[in-house]
């Protein structure tokens, strides 16, 4: 499992593990005669057979072209098996774009675009040799947090030895007793968003704790979307 550096409310920090521990079984599909079905990627269309390309090529005569022939099917490539795909950006002319600059669009709750800004490169700030993620002291009741934010990812934080067990159990106990979630922050003052990997998304991070006797569960929940009412 990956490591993360956490500090608690007394500014003590420790290196602990985190990861996803749940198992999601995959359904097995079979044919009527019992043979196992395998999923494969196959070519359905190419740039030359896309709807937009055909409309530009035939215009109002597209319907007649479809009746009289098969311009929407690339006979040489249709159905070919595809392996090793890579993502590329295309220009409006369907050419490969180089030197792409990405931008971030910010929207108001009613869907109106607020601003467009250049996407900033991000660096992971959970590394064990860097500054620990800090308790901000901002507790939010669990039910309120679930109504305020849409959590996109969740990780279970786990101890790696007896000392870190006591460290994490105490965190989980305090959060469970207040039925609250604690906002975490990165950077020297704990005011920065949390970034899990270089080039990754910036998140607001919350810790949720549960206990059962001497057992505990500490969950790191990540969100980059706040739920706000739309003003009438």
Do 60 and 15 belong to one domain?
no
At 95-119, the pLDDT tens digits run: 889 888 888 888 887 888 999 988 8
pLDDT band with cut points at 50, 70 and 90 for residue 128:
low
Give Cβ neighbours of residue 125 (< 8 Å, ≥ 6 apart).
131, 133, 186, 187, 192, 194, 195
Q: Which domain holds residue 144?
A: 2-23+122-226
pLDDT band with cut points at 50, 70 and 90 for residue 25:
confident
Do 14 and 49 belong to one domain?
no
- pTM > 0.85: no
Q: Where do the DSSP E strands lie in 88-171?
A: 103-107, 113-118, 134-141, 149-158
At 43-81, the pLDDT tens digits run: 998 888 988 889 999 999 999 999 999 999 999 999 999
Question: Is residue 65, in this structure, part of any structural domain at all?
Answer: yes
Do 16 and 70 belong to one domain?
no
Say if CB 221 and CB 152 are below 8 A apart.
Answer: no
Residue 23 pLDDT more than 70?
Answer: no
At 137-190, the pLDDT tens digits run: 899 999 999 899 999 999 999 999 999 999 999 999 999 999 999 999 998 888
Do 129 and 222 belong to one domain?
yes
Do 219 and 166 belong to one domain?
yes
């Amino acid at each position: 499992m990956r490591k993360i550096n956490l500090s608690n409310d007394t500014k003590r920090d420790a290196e602990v593990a985190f990861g996803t521990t749940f198992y999601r079984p995959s359904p097995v599909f079979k044919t009527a005669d019992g043979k196992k079905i395998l999923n494969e990627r196959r070519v359905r269309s190419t740039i030359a057979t896309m709807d937009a390309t055909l409309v530009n090529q035939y215009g109002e005569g597209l319907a007649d072209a479809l009746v009289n022939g098969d311009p929407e099917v690339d006979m040489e490539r249709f159905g070919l098996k595809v392996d090793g795909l890579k993502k590329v950006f295309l220009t409006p002319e369907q050419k490969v774009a180089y030197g792409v600059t990405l931008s971030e669009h910010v929207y108001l709750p009613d869907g109106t675009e607020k601003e467009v800004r250049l996407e900033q490169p991000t660096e992971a700030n959970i590394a064990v040799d860097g500054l620990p993620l800090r308790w901000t002291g901002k507790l939010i009741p669990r039910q309120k947090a679930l109504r305020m934010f849409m959590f996109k990812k969740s990780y279970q934080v786990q101890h790696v030895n007896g000392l870190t067990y006591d460290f994490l159990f105490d965190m989980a106990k305090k959060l469970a007793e207040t039925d609250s979630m604690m906002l975490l922050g990165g950077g020297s003052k704990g005011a920065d968003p949390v970034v899990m990997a270089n080039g990754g998304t910036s998140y607001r991070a919350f810790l949720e704790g549960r206990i059962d006797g001497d057992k505990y569960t500490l969950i790191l929940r990540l969100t980059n979307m706040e739920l706000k009412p739309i003003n009438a």
